Structure 1
Amino acid sequence: MRQGHVEAEVIPVVDVPITFEGHARFNVANALAASAAAYALGLSIADIQMGLQTFHPTPGQNPGRTNLIDADGMKVLIDYGHNVPALEALSGLVGCIPARRRISVASAPGNRRDEDLFTLGTLLARMHDVVFIYETDARGRTPGDAARLLREGAESVPGTCRVEVIMEEQQAVERAFEEASEGDLLVLLIDDVDSAIERIRGAASGRLPPQRQTVRRHDARRPPGRQAADPAAGRQSLCAGASRGKRYSDRRWPYRRPGA
């Protein structure tokens, strides 16, 4: 932090959980911006340090945004990266997480330009070994058209990435879990985060969660009788599951250094 000629170090980047030890460069930028804004509003360096140290990329505190979870020997990264800039930013982090294979479930709304959907498909293929494409919201397109463009983009990339189209989101997620095995990284670029968390818990406990109605992140309406989730309660439930011996965790991972 700098004001005039006075400089003060706020915190080492490796101690800020949302940066994943600096590999999530987009969250390094977010942390810098948040720190500057907080300082301008009069918060002390100690307060800023505390905020940065205690904000974690978990489903409880920041659902659907770079949630990295261990599930029975696999790693699962949940994010809402549905456009080209978001996926470009995420690619650096995905590449630094050690994995035997990288398997993705991905989609994009139909109101993206044709060239953007095609480019998104190419990025998915370059980042992953297997890609399962679903369709989230046609938004004026013919059903299946957005998925087709994503697939064409992915299949245009030379290499060994395998691409499948499974139109329904939960079926695509289930197919990805069937495909994955110990040591793999699942990258779930999805809308229905709650169902994915239930599926991860099911994988950890050896059971499958019941199917339920999908609630999209972009749908502002909440089903009748459903209350807003308590972020703290969500985090406690994950930690409580781990303490009971279930094999999943949202703790920090060892990351592979670039070039290692």
Structure 2
Amino acid sequence: MRLSVLLKEIQYTCLRGSEDIDVAGVAYDSRRVETGSLFICIRGALADGHEYAGDAVAKGAAALVVQEPVEVPEGVTVILVEDTRYALSLISAAWFDYPARKLKTIGVTGTKGKTTTTYMIQSILEAAGHKVGLIGTIHCITGKRVFSSENTTPESYLVQEYFAEMVDAGYDCAVMEVSSQALMLHRVAGVMFDYGIFTNIEPDHIGPNEHSSFEEYLECKRQLLRQCRVGIVNRDDRHFDQMIRGHTCELETYGFSEQADLRAEEARLVAEPGYLGIRYHVKGLLDLPVEIDIPGKFSIYNSLAAIAICRRFGVTEENIRSALKKAKVKGRVEMVKVSDEFTLLIDYAHNAMSLKSLLTTLREYKPHRLVCLFGCGGNRSRSRRFEMGEISGRLADLTIITSDNPRNEAPQAIIDDIKTGIGKTEGKYVEIIDRKEAIAYAIHHGEPGDIVILAGKGHEDYQIIKGRKYSMDERVLIQEILEEDRKAQ
């Protein structure tokens, strides 16, 4: 493809060489450069692509895109831009022939609820006959392949590649999670979403290598409302006015508020042995009853956002209702049947805010006991351990402290930090380092009416110990425990 074609939507200066050349590929990792490639020098947290410009040229790069001058041999075209990450996104879109423009695109951002909302949208639209691609935290579905994700929102080149695969597979819709990091790092720059959803916002992802302040975090998030045609926003969020500041899209709101365009009324919890759910009635722009097999008030918000999108697609009320009843999300308050007497769930809650929200939600179902099993990741903030320990100690009737991803730390040291947090409360706890043994303890000691939550791992199917990744899926562990129990009877 002609370099000038790839650059047509970018402000740039040609420092040397000519834009009137053909390039054979686009690369942002010097190890992937091939003869004739365009190499884009990205400055990252751990490495600066400008330092590898020479390596890229040695491997045959025909042109470079930089945001600062570099020394390279004669005959190599050098293009200077203000921000190479932004340039990578627009160049990638051009390289794949703007695939997002050939799809109905739905971007979902927010502190919580992104994953569940995207799966609900996919479930409803597919039930209505649409072919829907997905990019998110758990995995990506492109029509060509289904694979586990490394990031909530991948690098911009990959986003465009996945969109292109969806187009080639005959898909007509794409729904994706859009993280604050992705917006900050321009991973979806140049994509004008048909619909943008803003689920909620609370202080999170603030610290080194993330966001310097809540205001910066918020500003990154609300960029989506300047990058979509229709914005669908949670009217009940306490930061609503800040969330919509500077929006350029048509706005639609959802929530319990009388001011919401699409609102929930008559919400009722549904609790049976081994099952938790919620029922409510949609009012406003639609009028229909809904039941969801995912517990908690937050499930109402997630489903309302999904319903708002699907209304725009003309999905029938019957399709909406039946699809929502079947919608399941791996590792998000995921019910796993182990007993007719108590309920066991798996959830990804892995920080203080998400654990507090989860336990508070489950408390509303008035369990006989609320049992919380969790650990904390190693080589991460110790304060998270104290906070999660204190929250579980206050909100759970019994905490089972175990191992998560200890990484290069001693599991016992992490557990001791969690116990320090629990020590600020009167909460009861047991400690069992081995996660399978801890889960077995939770199952064997479950009492009628209990809700048992396995928190922290969610959709993850591995454990990182001393730098090595081992297979470990809690669903597999549960089945192994149940099978061992059967054999022992």
Shorter-chain TM range is 0.5 to 0.7
Question: Which residue does 2:321 correspond to in 1?
Answer: 49
Secondary structure of the residue aligned to 1:77 is strand
Question: Which residue does 1:137 correspond to in 2?
Answer: 405
TM-score where L is the length of structure 1: 0.63
CA RMSD of aligned residues (A): 3.0
- List aligned pairs for 1:57-206, cutoff 5 A: 61-68=328-335, 69=337, 71-157=339-425, 159=426, 161-189=427-455, 191=457, 192-198=473-479, 201-202=482-483
1:135 positional shift: 1.4
1:133 positional shift: 0.9
CA distance in 1, matches of 2:285, 2:373: 42
Change (3 A) 1:143 1:187: closer
Change (3 A) 1:189 1:37: same
Give the AA of the match of 1:9.
L
Aligned with 2:289 (options 12, 37, 44): 12
Show CA shifts across 1:2-49 (max 9, x none). Answer: 49xx94325335x2332x3xxx12221211222223334453444333
Give the count of matched residue pairs.
193
Change (3 A) 1:184 1:7: closer
TM-score where L is the length of structure 2: 0.35
Show CA shifts across 1:195-235 (max 9, x none). Answer: 354157559xx6169xxxxxxxxxxxxxxxxxxxxxxxxxx
CA distance in 2, matches of 1:8, 1:96: 29
User: Does the 8 A contact of 1:25 with 1:89 survive in 2?
Assistant: no
What runs of 5+ residues in structure 2 fail to find an aligned partner? 1-253, 255-260, 263-282, 458-472
CA distance in 1, matches of 2:487, 2:299: 33
CA distance in 2, matches of 1:190, 1:208: 29
Change (3 A) 1:185 1:46: closer
Give the AA of the match of 2:452.
L
CA distance in 2, matches of 1:123, 1:178: 24
Query: Mean Cα displacement is larger for which, 163-172 or 74-83?
Result: 74-83
User: Does the 8 A contact of 1:122 with 1:156 survive in 2?
Assistant: yes
Change (3 A) 1:199 1:78: farther
Change (3 A) 1:10 1:54: farther
CA distance in 1, matches of 2:379, 2:300: 30
Change (3 A) 1:136 1:100: same
CA distance in 2, matches of 1:40, 1:181: 45
Percent identity of paired positions between Structure 1 and Structure 2 = 23
User: Does the 8 A contact of 1:17 with 1:53 survive in 2?
Assistant: yes
> Which stretches of structure 1, 4 residues or longer, exceed 6 Å deviation after superposition?
none
Higher relative contact order by CA 8 Å / sep ≥ 6: 1 or 2?
Answer: 1
Show CA shifts across 1:101-155 (max 9, x none). Answer: 2222111222442222211111111122221111121234344332222111112
Query: Mean Cα displacement is larger for which, 101-110 or 118-127?
Result: 101-110
CA distance in 2, matches of 1:179, 1:202: 17
- Structure that is richer in strand per residue: 2
User: Does the 8 A contact of 1:133 with 1:164 survive in 2?
Assistant: yes
What runs of 5+ residues in structure 1 fail to find an aligned partner? 56-60, 210-260
CA distance in 2, matches of 1:139, 1:96: 35
Question: Is residue 315 of structure 2 the alignment partner of residue 34 of structure 1?
Answer: no
Change (3 A) 1:11 1:155: farther
Question: Is residue 297 of structure 2 the alignment partner of residue 25 of structure 1?
Answer: yes
Question: Which residue does 1:217 correspond to in 2?
Answer: none
User: Does the 8 A contact of 1:67 with 1:79 survive in 2?
Assistant: yes
Question: Which residue does 1:220 correspond to in 2?
Answer: none
Secondary structure of the residue aligned to 2:420 is helix
Larger Rg computed on CA atoms: 2
CA distance in 2, matches of 1:7, 1:102: 36
Secondary structure of the residue aligned to 1:100 is coil
Secondary structure of the residue aligned to 2:394 is helix
Secondary structure of the residue aligned to 2:373 is strand
1:95 positional shift: 0.6
CA distance in 2, matches of 1:77, 1:208: 24
User: Does the 8 A contact of 2:332 with 2:348 survive in 1?
Assistant: yes
